[in-house]
């Protein structure tokens, strides 16, 4: 487990600002109360002299601190709350089921509370999320040769016109054109560094970004144009494989990913991304060395830009590229995430 931490000034500022970029980077122990918190805890912030910092929950617990009941630092960042899990399991196991506000109330759920959670974590209301799941299910059936009318009714639609409207709104094309259309299914994957957004087509993983990165929406727009595809929530076996392999990576038991990848970029970008995948686990390379490796020694800045356009964080390890002077530079997920990943890999090689 990585042990390096940002400066105390940086961490205290992150604590005051509830900065989500530092989720998983440190935990704050409050000496006056004996509890420890996430950087994003909403409780009143303590005085600087009353805070101790830890790289892990284990370190905080071993120092005698108790987990905060407000921010619950022992749960992974982004985990669905306990009260919501039964609903999520229900709609994922039976996406054709339509659950309306009065149905939520019969399950002792506040519709407004559910709506706020889905808007925050998926950018859409609960009802919209249900519709996209139904469309995703129907899309899969049609792609596998099932007639449109059967797919519509199996997805819970009572009319073909209503199904057609919902399908086109979600995907950008009609059900009849779905054989030629392309969908990128998306899901959130929880990691020690916060939630990541994963996207995959039938051919492989095409997106893996930290969910709080400002460039996520721009990357999705660029990727959508490159692949001529639309993004909708839904299950995908490549995402499940990514979830399991990331868990093994963070646990220190996996050093090389073997997930099929869809690399949508210019020939130069693909050349740079291919070079990134040759950097050994736990090792680093400078931007200059990377440029020399692809036979373009003067293209250092272009290489750096291509690294920044990498849409598959961790899987394509741009975190292993550093400055010529050995300093950490240029990581879209934040330099402290980069430090964490490098420390994790070095720690695995030198336990």
C-alpha torsion sign, points 315, 316, 319, 321: positive
Q: Please give the structure tokens belonging to residue 217.
A: 């929406």
Q: Which of 334, 116, 119, 131 is nearest to 233 (CA)?
A: 131
Dihedral sign of CA atoms 121, 124, 129, 133 in order: negative
Report the candidate in 253, 281, 288 with the shortest Cα–Cα distance to residue 341: 281
Asked about 71 being catalytic, the answer comes back as no
Angle between helices 160-171 and 126-143 (to 10 degrees): 100
175-180: long-range pairs with CB below 8 Å, 24+: 175/138, 175/142, 175/148, 175/151, 176/148, 178/139, 178/142, 178/143, 179/142, 179/143
Residue keyed to tokens 């961490």 = 11
Q: What does the radius of gyration of the chain's CA atoms come to, in whole angstroms? A: 22
Q: Which candidate in 41, 68, 206, 318 is catalytic?
A: 318
Region of 350 (left: φ > 0; alpha: ψ -120 to 50; beta: rest) is beta
Q: 207 near 229, Cβ under 8 Å? A: no
Distance between CA 121 and CA 236 in Å, rounded? 19
> Who contacts 69 (Cβ-Cβ below 8 Å, separation ≥6)?
none
* First vs last C-alpha separation in the chain: 9
Among candidate residues 37, 68, 71, 206, the one labeled active-site is 37
Residue with tokens 């808007």, as numbered in its chain? 119
Helix H segments across 107-259? 111-122, 126-143, 148-154, 160-171, 216-227, 237-250
Catalytic machinery residues: 37, 318
């Amino acid at each position: 487990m990585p042990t390096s931490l940002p400066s105390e000034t940086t961490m205290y500022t992150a604590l005051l600002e509830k900065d989500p970029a530092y989720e998983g980077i440190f935990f704050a122990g409050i000496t006056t109360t004996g509890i420890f918190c996430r950087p994003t805890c909403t409780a009143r912030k303590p005085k600087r002299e009353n805070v101790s910092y830890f790289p892990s929950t284990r370190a905080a617990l071993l120092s005698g601190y108790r987990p905060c009941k407000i921010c619950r630092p022992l749960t992974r960042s982004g985990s669905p709350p306990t009260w919501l899990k039964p609903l999520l399991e229900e709609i994922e196991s039976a996406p054709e089921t339509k659950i309306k506000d009065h149905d939520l109330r019969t399950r002792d759920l506040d519709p407004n509370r559910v709506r706020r959670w889905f808007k925050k974590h998926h950018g859409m209301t609960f009802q919209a999320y249900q519709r996209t799941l139904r469309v995703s299910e129907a899309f899969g059936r049609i792609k596998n040769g099932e007639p449109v009318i059967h797919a519509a009714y199996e997805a819970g639609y009572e009319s073909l016109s209503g199904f057609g409207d919902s399908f086109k709104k979600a995907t950008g094309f009609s059900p009849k054109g779905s054989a030629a259309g392309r969908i990128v299914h998306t899901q959130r994957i929880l990691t020690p560094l916060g939630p990541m957004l994963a996207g995959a087509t039938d051919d492989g993983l095409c997106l893996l970004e930290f969910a709080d990165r400002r460039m996520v929406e721009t990357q999705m727009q660029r990727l959508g144009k490159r692949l001529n595809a639309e993004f909708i929530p839904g299950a995908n076996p490549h995402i499940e494989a990514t979830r399991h392999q990331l868990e093994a990576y963070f646990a220190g038991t996996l050093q090389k990913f073997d997930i099929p990848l869809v690399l949508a970029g210019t020939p130069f970008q693909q050349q740079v991304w291919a070079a990134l995948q040759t950097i050994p686990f736990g090792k680093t390379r400078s931007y200059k060395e990377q440029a020399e490796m692809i036979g373009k020694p003067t293209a250092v800045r272009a290489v750096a830009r291509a690294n920044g356009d990498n849409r598959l964080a961790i899987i394509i390890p741009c975190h292993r590229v550093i400055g010529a002077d050995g300093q950490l530079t240029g990581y879209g997920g934040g330099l402290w995430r980069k430090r964490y990943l490098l420390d994790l890999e070095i720690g695995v090689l030198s336990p």
